[in-house]
Structure 1
Amino acid sequence: MTSSSTSSAHFPRISNHGEPTRCWCGEGITTFGSSTAENMYRRFYRCQIARDRKTENHLFKWIDEALIDKIWMVDAKHERVAQEITKFEERVMEKVKSEIVRVEAEMSEKLEEKVNLEIARVEQEMKQKLKIVTVAMVVVGEIVGIWTSLTV
């Protein structure tokens, strides 16, 4: 493709990447086939004005080079999108992790609160039963004391 560099060098005013749509003069682009021995039938972009006025510097680009440029541009864009997706995934994962930590802390706090309430309820219930057992033991002790005093 050294010939393309030579051919493209004839038109230094024009700098384009990918597939051109218009010439610098504003004219639309047409595709042509080369008739030179070096690039026989090789397709290229050119505006009609340049085709008619060979002495003027108008857009010229080989179609195969334009397609390769386009592929490189798409690859670069794909890489940028892939990097953005990776960054987005990392941000989402960080948010998910922090939300998990927050929910776990909230659940732990609520569980601890419920456990403490249940412990207080059981403690209160045990105190009530202990009072009843204590009263029952005192009553039984008094009955035993009365019974032993009567039988002796």
Structure 2
Amino acid sequence: IWGGYTGDGFKTVLPAKAHAKISFRLVSRQDPLKLRAAFRAYVQAQLPPDCTASFESHGTAPASTMSMADPAFEAARRALGEEWGMPAAFIGCGGSIPIAGYFKTVLGMDAMLIGFGKDSDQIHSPNEKYDLECFHKGVRSWARILARITG
């Protein structure tokens, strides 16, 4: 979100324009175009009579989900448990990564999204980190998963 004077120092005037860049993380069965239209209608409905809003689109992508009943899901869960020495946790996130939805809508196949980070990694934050142990175990995990679902 930004508006008004953004250079060094300060200005004590009210800005004539304001801007915002907004993205949404979708969940299963949400239609990105329908969500976009609903958001724009909401913003328009909140405007005072002497204000206007304009919008630019930067793309949309559907969210994806993979059924837990899919045999590949359970095979992956077992392979992960073998590598990490504890049962894998299903947390249901990452489905709004655009390529995952395209695999489903364009190729007709599910995308298995598996993360190997720790909660303390602060993914996508300014102080993001990633342990080498997670990297190495992640590589070995994918080798185990691929062996299970192809063999």
**Which one has a larger percent strand, Structure 1 or Structure 2?**
1
**Which one has a larger percent helix, Structure 1 or Structure 2?**
1
Question: What TM-score, normalized by structure 1, do the two folds share?
Answer: 0.19
Greater relative contact order: 1 or 2 (C-alpha under 8 angstroms, separation 6 or more)?
2
Question: What TM-score, normalized by structure 2, do the two folds share?
Answer: 0.19
